[in-house]
């Protein structure tokens, strides 16, 4: 029962079990995020967006890369916004970070603002994936990149691995081919994929021309 209540708060953390899920996200996604960030080169002046900032650890990691740049985090969960702000209190006071309650479908940012937009384990929950990728594309600078990071990856030899979580949350695990297709249909170029075979992790980068 505890496991089910925890998993049910993955999509929109709220209340006690939401707090537990946020704590779990910060801990369990840390190594995955570090691995994925090794595949991009962040400059000190870059402006970065973390979509679905959860508990705020990824925002904090990104702040360690930027000097005169800035990291924005969005989440549609009010609890996640509060937890991320608390986790990044010093970064916010130094004007290195800003956290906003928002949805990926309507980003509260002007065109061509970001050098990077990053999403760690959140793509599954996006309501309209093509529209949402295009909305991110709108906010990327020319030459800017998106980084999508996944742990729930389909494997032909284990077709039912994620079935229980998929059914409980109404989401689907992904494959490299599916994500590549979404990115192509959304206008992105120079799509590159990276796999950690020992962990079955996947990340993809794609660029706005």
**For residue 47, what pLDDT is reported?**
98
**How many domains is the chain partitioned into structurally?**
1
Please indicate whether residue 134 or residue 8 has the higher confidence score (pLDDT): 134
Whether 182 maps to a domain, the answer reads: yes
Structure token digits, residue 70: 């800035």
CA 21/CA 1 separation, integer angstroms:
14
**For residue 87, what pLDDT is reported?**
95
**For residue 6, what pLDDT is reported?**
40
Please indicate whether residue 17 or residue 130 has the higher confidence score (pLDDT): 130
State the CATH number of the domain containing residue 203. Answer: 3.40.50.150
**For residue 26, what pLDDT is reported?**
54
CA 181/CA 138 separation, integer angstroms:
18
What is the domain range of residue 161? 30-207
Whether 158 maps to a domain, the answer reads: yes
Whether 113 maps to a domain, the answer reads: yes
CA 84/CA 152 separation, integer angstroms:
23
Whether 127 maps to a domain, the answer reads: yes
Please indicate whether residue 27 or residue 99 has the higher confidence score (pLDDT): 99
Q: Choose the weakest-confidence range: 21-25, 55-59, 79-83.
A: 21-25
Q: Rounded mean pLDDT of 169-181?
A: 93
């Amino acid at each position: 029962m505890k496991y089910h209540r925890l998993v049910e708060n993955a999509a929109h953390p709220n209340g006690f079990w939401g707090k537990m899920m946020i704590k779990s996200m910060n801990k369990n996604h840390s190594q995955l995020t570090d691995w994925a960030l090794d595949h991009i080169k962040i400059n000190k002046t870059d402006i970065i967006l973390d979509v679905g900032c959860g508990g705020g650890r990824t925002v904090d990691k990104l702040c360690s890369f930027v000097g005169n740049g800035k990291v924005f985090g969005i989440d549609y969960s009010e609890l996640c916004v509060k937890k991320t702000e608390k986790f990044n209190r010093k970064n916010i006071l130094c004007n290195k970070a800003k956290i906003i309650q928002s949805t990926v479908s309507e980003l509260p940012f002007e065109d061509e603002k970001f050098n990077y937009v990053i999403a760690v384990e959140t793509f599954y929950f996006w309501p309209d994936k093509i529209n949402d990728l295009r909305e991110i594309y709108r906010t990327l600078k020319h030459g800017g990149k998106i980084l999508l990071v996944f742990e729930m990856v389909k494997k032909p030899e284990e077709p039912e691995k994620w079935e229980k979580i998929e059914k409980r949350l109404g989401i689907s695990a992904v494959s490299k081919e599916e994500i590549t297709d979404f990115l192509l249909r959304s206008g992105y170029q120079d799509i590159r994929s990276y796999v950690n075979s020992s962990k079955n992790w996947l990340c993809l980068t794609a660029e706005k021309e």
